[in-house]
Chains A and B, each alone.
Chain A
Amino acid sequence: MEFAFSEEQRLFEGVLRDLLVEECPPEAVREAAAGPGVDRGRWNRLGSIGLLGITVDDRHPGGHGGTEVDAVLGLEAAGYVCLPEPVGEAYVVAALLKGTDLEQEWLPKIAAGHAVATIGPRSAVAHGDDAALLLLDDGEFTEVSTDALVEPRAGLDPTRGLVEVISGRGAALPKPWSEALDRAAFASAAHLIGVSRRVIEMAAGYSRDRHQFGKPIGSFQAIKHLLADAHLSVEFAAPVVYRAAWSLATDDANASRACSMAKAMASDAAVAACRAALQVHGAIGYTEEHDLHLWLKRGFAVASAWGDANHHRARIRASLLRR
């Protein structure tokens, strides 16, 4: 039993994280909020550093031949920097296209960051306007569309570039939509861990700097306990997310439940972390000028996407009790 990342996985994470921090400072997130869209240059560069091809088979150019265990820390790092681009969606699409007629054509393009692919419910697909390939729910299976007619929809998090799909049906993939749900739940959970860790870090830093009543506000127990509880939720959610990565990677019989547990716990943790961080920042955290709102909106939006905590607990209940 070794529930840990390898040194190689940690090294790769370090490289990715440094690059993401450089590629995506808060200003970049702010720009994406003002004019939603994928930054093509950045998407390309994320492709060349290998972030998008981790789980793509290595017989495809740009494919790293890795598993979800290799990918999860990169997905988390994307959340840490509040990356607007659909890295999680790219992972889900690549996994669903594997073994289908579309694999050969699309996986190299996705891995290289030359094409944007996305997936979502018809009513709210992230980055649907920028995507060359959309995977949608056709009721049971997964539907593929390359020429979807979409209409932008305002979202809680403007950086997600949500659209509603207006056009008719595309071709069906022989992949059940439930597989998309599991993988997207897992990918969003990883993203949320990153978002959560970042906002707690921001709040801890603020609590050291901000002085009131003659001392840093972090010296007050109320502030300490708020952040300690948020940190507790996140630190117990993280191994659950990593276990989901392992379950998917090993095709474990309980992978679906593992993904739901990851999403449920990460969603709750993200909401707790975002609320605690905002409360610690006080009014300044509520301004548009301060960066915190960018992460808050991402946290709340993704906590709701792909099934919120209640949705996934209901799934887990059904799995555990068959009712």
Chain B
Amino acid sequence: MDLSFTPEQESFRAEARAWLASNVPAEPLPSMDTAEGFEAHRGWERTLHAGGWSAVSWPAAYGGRGAGLEEWLIFEEEYWASGSPFRVNQNGLFLFAPTVLEHGTDAQKRRFLPAMAAGDEIWCQGWSEPDAGSDLAGLTSRADRVGDEWVINGQKTWCTRGAFADWLFGLFRTQPGSERHHGLSYLAVPLEAEGVTRRPIAQLNGETGFAEVFFDAVRVPVENTVGAEGDGWKIAMATAGFERGLLLRSPGRFMAPAARLLALAGERAERAPSAAVDDAVAAWMRVEAYRLFTMWTVSRLRTGASIGAESSLNKLWWSEMDIDLNRAALGLLGDEAELASSWTDALQFALAGPIYAGSNEIQRNIVAERVLGLPRG
């Protein structure tokens, strides 16, 4: 057992830190859930790409630098500690790309990955529909085969940054008459295609980061099917595994605010109630536990084990932890707590955590059934 990093990994960390320090925008960018901010964040993706930092764990052929999972974790720590902007292409980079790398053809990898790494094509996820949220298998948007194209009709909702994204990856019913999780296919859809309409949905934090996406006889080539036709559910569940697991929320993403929270606790300890300082310490501990659990999982992955249903544990932990972190900060701020700040922004975003990427109620069911062996309902 060895919890230390190698000298090579430490110099990788130093290299990342130095590059970020020289390149992080001096002023925060406008929110990526606005039209202006979205393009500003695309610009940042291009800057990252120019430095070779936009997709560090991909093969170089696709725009990465072939770094391992541990290096990715190190990069994420440095990234979030540097105050870098959010990753506007995160759905593509951390959800779609791993799926393509595992289930896609070489042609699809060449077509989609370099453009994604360069920030030229920004992706959103088309999963939920108005009648298919937690019960995703109830989806009805369909894609009918006509010649060598799919013709898509239907509607997706809650698409993060769907209003501005270039492409959408989603699940569509391709086998007529099929039900539930059978007969679904995983498709890549360009959102500039004729027949696509998007309508922003205002979120409680005032941003229009969500969208409804309507498909009215939208044609996409059959080549845009990832994996076999009809295998969409299986492939989507693989995405869900990544999503709940490591990639969407690295420990580094929370270590940075946890460090700021401790600093705030130190500053405010005289004025704030002792319980507020205790809450900050407890939140910091949860982040530290997340870091260790992630390292444990990474080491297991290296032995060839797969994450499986245990990725639900990851998601349950970070989503509640994120709320704890931000609430703890407000607990230290006394009368200023309700004034708008990066903490109130982050709290509002964190409130969505137990809902997206599979609600925490579903996650608990998965843990109980697939990890603990309890019978299905």
- Interface residue from B269, B293, B299, B371 paired with A2 (Cβ < 8 Å): B299
Given A317-B277, A321-B265: A2 in contact with B285 (beta carbons within 8 A) = no
Q: Is B308 an interface residue (CB 8 A)?
A: no
- Interface residue from A224, A228, A317 paired with B278 (Cβ < 8 Å): A317
Cβ–Cβ contact B374 & A219, under 8 A: yes
Cβ–Cβ contact A1 & B299, under 8 A: yes
Q: Is A144 an interface residue (CB 8 A)?
A: no
Q: What residues on B are CB-neighbors of A5 within 8 Å? A: 1
CB distance from B59 to the nearest CB of A (A): 22
Interface residue ranges of A141-172 to B (CB < 8 Å): none
CB distance from B133 to the nearest CB of A (A): 17
Cβ–Cβ contact B282 & A218, under 8 A: no
A317 and B275 CA atoms in complex are apart in Å by: 11
Cβ–Cβ contact B266 & A321, under 8 A: yes
Cβ–Cβ contact B298 & A232, under 8 A: no
A215 and B376 CA atoms in complex are apart in Å by: 10
Q: Is A107 an interface residue (CB 8 A)?
A: no
Q: What residues on A are CB-neighbors of B290 within 8 Å? A: 236
Cβ–Cβ contact A313 & B285, under 8 A: yes
Q: Is B204 an interface residue (CB 8 A)?
A: no
Q: Is A229 an interface residue (CB 8 A)?
A: yes
Q: Is B21 an interface residue (CB 8 A)?
A: no
A319 and B293 CA atoms in complex are apart in Å by: 22
* Nearest-CB residue, chain A, relative to B363: A228
Given A4-B296, A321-B262: A224 in contact with B368 (beta carbons within 8 A) = yes
A293 and B292 CA atoms in complex are apart in Å by: 32
Q: Is B367 an interface residue (CB 8 A)?
A: yes
Q: Count A-B contacts at CB 8 Å.
A: 139
Given A4-B300, A224-B364, A228-B364: A236 in contact with B373 (beta carbons within 8 A) = no
Q: Is A69 an interface residue (CB 8 A)?
A: yes
Q: Is A302 an interface residue (CB 8 A)?
A: no
Q: What residues on B are CB-neighbors of A25 within 8 Å? A: none
* Nearest-CB residue, chain A, relative to B302: A2
- Interface residue from B5, B281, B364 paired with A1 (Cβ < 8 Å): B5
A27 and B343 CA atoms in complex are apart in Å by: 54
A274 and B278 CA atoms in complex are apart in Å by: 25
CB distance from B99 to the nearest CB of A (A): 26
Tell me which of A2, A228, A316 has the highest count of chain B C-beta atoms within 10 A of its own C-beta. A228
Q: What residues on A are CB-neighbors of B2 within 8 Å? A: 1-3, 246
Cβ–Cβ contact A221 & B377, under 8 A: yes
CB distance from B290 to the nearest CB of A (A): 8
Cβ–Cβ contact B1 & A231, under 8 A: no
Q: Is B361 an interface residue (CB 8 A)?
A: yes
Instruction: For the complex, count residues of A whose C-beta is within 8 A of B.
Output: 45
Q: Is B317 an interface residue (CB 8 A)?
A: yes
Cβ–Cβ contact B299 & A4, under 8 A: yes
Tell me which of A3, A204, A237, A261 has the highest count of chain B C-beta atoms within 10 A of its own C-beta. A3
Q: Is A208 an interface residue (CB 8 A)?
A: yes
Q: Is B149 an interface residue (CB 8 A)?
A: no
CB distance from A9 to the nearest CB of B (A): 8
Q: Is B369 an interface residue (CB 8 A)?
A: yes
Given A216-B375, A236-B313: A228 in contact with B368 (beta carbons within 8 A) = yes
- Interface residue from B269, B288, B376 paired with A323 (Cβ < 8 Å): B269
Q: What residues on B are CB-neighbors of A104 within 8 Å? A: none
Q: Is A264 an interface residue (CB 8 A)?
A: yes
Given A208-B374, A265-B289: A4 in contact with B368 (beta carbons within 8 A) = no
Q: Is B3 an interface residue (CB 8 A)?
A: yes
Cβ–Cβ contact B285 & A242, under 8 A: no
Tell me which of A5, A215, A221, A232 has the highest count of chain B C-beta atoms within 10 A of its own C-beta. A232
Q: What residues on B are CB-neighbors of A242 within 8 Å? A: 1, 296
* Chain B proximity mask over A1-42: 1 for CB below 8 Å, otherwise 0: 111111000000000000000000000000000000000000
Q: What residues on B are CB-neighbors of A218 within 8 Å? A: 368, 374-375
Q: What residues on B are CB-neighbors of A227 within 8 Å? A: 368, 372, 374
Q: What residues on A are CB-neighbors of B295 within 8 Å? A: 1, 3, 239
Q: What residues on B are CB-neighbors of A224 within 8 Å? A: 364-365, 367-369, 374
Q: What residues on B are CB-neighbors of A49 within 8 Å? A: none
Interface residue ranges of A236-267 to B (CB < 8 Å): 236-237, 239-240, 242-243, 245-246, 249, 261, 264-265
Cβ–Cβ contact A207 & B289, under 8 A: no
Given A1-B299, A229-B364: A237 in contact with B289 (beta carbons within 8 A) = yes
Tell me which of A242, A245, A320 has the highest count of chain B C-beta atoms within 10 A of its own C-beta. A320
Cβ–Cβ contact B278 & A6, under 8 A: no
Q: What residues on A are CB-neighbors of B282 within 8 Å? A: 313
Cβ–Cβ contact A231 & B375, under 8 A: no
Given A1-B299, A236-B293: A221 in contact with B1 (beta carbons within 8 A) = no
A224 and B373 CA atoms in complex are apart in Å by: 10
Q: Is A225 an interface residue (CB 8 A)?
A: yes
* Nearest-CB residue, chain A, relative to B289: A236
Cβ–Cβ contact A225 & B4, under 8 A: no
Interface residue ranges of B225-241 to A (CB < 8 Å): none
Cβ–Cβ contact B3 & A1, under 8 A: yes
Q: Is B175 an interface residue (CB 8 A)?
A: no
Q: What residues on A are CB-neighbors of B11 within 8 Å? A: none
Q: What residues on A are CB-neighbors of B105 within 8 Å? A: none
* Nearest-CB residue, chain B, relative to A317: B281
Tell me which of A1, A4, A235 has the highest count of chain B C-beta atoms within 10 A of its own C-beta. A1
A224 and B296 CA atoms in complex are apart in Å by: 25
Q: Is B303 an interface residue (CB 8 A)?
A: yes
Given A1-B299, A228-B364: A236 in contact with B317 (beta carbons within 8 A) = yes
- Interface residue from B298, B317, B363, B368 paired with A3 (Cβ < 8 Å): B298
Given A204-B373, A228-B365, A228-B368: 8 more A-B contacts, CB < 8 Å: A3-B292, A3-B298, A219-B374, A225-B365, A227-B372, A231-B313, A237-B289, A239-B295
Binding site for B on A (CB under 8 A): 1-6, 69, 200, 204, 207-208, 215-216, 218-221, 223-225, 227-229, 231-232, 235-237, 239-240, 242-243, 245-246, 249, 261, 264-265, 313-314, 316-317, 320-321, 323
A and B contact pairs by CB, cutoff 8 A, 7 listed: A204-B374, A224-B365, A232-B316, A239-B289, A243-B3, A320-B262, A321-B281
